[in-house]
Amino acid sequence: MVHIQLIIGSTRDTRFADKPAAWLLERLSAREDLTIEKVDLRDYPLPFYNSPRSPAFTQREYPTEALAAWGRKVDEADGYIFLVAEYNHAYTAALKNALDSIYPELNRKPVAFVGYGGVGAARAVEQLRLVAVEFEMAPLRHAVHILPDVFGPALQSNPIDIAVFAPLEPRLEKLATDLVWWAQALKAGRTATA
């Protein structure tokens, strides 16, 4: 069994993110090969990164309680799904700031992506794959892109009827199966070299 965190990358009050998050949590919690936990950046409000040295060097030295709470939470997972909004062809500043504030907590763990927007956040996801490599993560190929054919109906669905995401379920299954494979493999590797 591997523990996966769903990291919600958008924090704005009127965000769409909660709708796909509800679908993902419902579907993934039905699987027996993983445990899923929602990790909402709203619950980890961090100042703009302001440390004299990178967390890659300072490792788990947390100068504030807020950073300690974020770092310790991320440390608990064997793998991640980043739920990605696209703002001006990139991922959110909130997500970048949260990532820059930590480092070893993410090392040698896989990350998969679910994006939404005009192009399913494809541009933001591609950028995140590059960033993930710098965090010594394994960014995965299988992704879910919520394109306008599903994004539009989901925007209109209030409260959300998660059935609108049904066309994406085969892709989600593929993503989850692959993520579990990598999470198990890298967990074994981390344990062997601990």
HEC per residue, 60-93 = CCCCCHHHHHHHHHHHCCCEEEEEEECECCECCH
Phi, psi (degrees; rounded to nearest 5) at 118? -55, -40
CA pair distance 185, 138, nearest whole angstrom: 11
- Asked, as a colleague might, if the bond just before 148 is cis with ω within 30 of 0, I would say no
Among 4, 6, 10, 125, the residue binding ligand FMN under the rule CB under 6 A is: 10
CB closer to ligand FMN out of 127 and 184: 127
Number of residues located near ligand FMN, criterion CB under 6 A: 13
Q: Which one, of 189, 2, 28, 56, lies nearest residue 114 by Cα?
A: 28
Q: Which one, of 142, 141, 167, lies nearest residue 152 by Cα?
A: 167
Smallest separation (angstroms) from ligand FMN to the CB of 31: 24
Site for ligand FMN in 74-133 (CB under 6 A): 85-89, 117-119
Smallest separation (angstroms) from ligand FMN to the CB of 91: 10
CB closer to ligand FMN out of 5 and 10: 10
CB closer to ligand FMN out of 60 and 131: 131
Smallest separation (angstroms) from ligand FMN to the CB of 55: 26
CB closer to ligand FMN out of 34 and 172: 172
Give Cα separations from 108 to 77, 93, 117, 171, 193 (angstroms): 11, 23, 29, 24, 11
Alpha carbon dihedral 130, 167, 8, 148, in 10-degree steps, equals: 80
Smallest separation (angstroms) from ligand FMN to the CB of 48: 18
Site for ligand FMN in 123-182 (CB under 6 A): none
Stretch that binds ligand FMN, among 14-22, 93-101, 129-137, 171-179 (CB under 6 A): 14-22
Smallest separation (angstroms) from ligand FMN to the CB of 127: 12
Any idea how long the chain is?
194
Among 2, 5, 7, 16, the residue binding ligand FMN under the rule CB under 6 A is: 16
Q: Which residues bind ligand FMN (CB under 6 A)?
A: 10, 12, 15-17, 85-89, 117-119
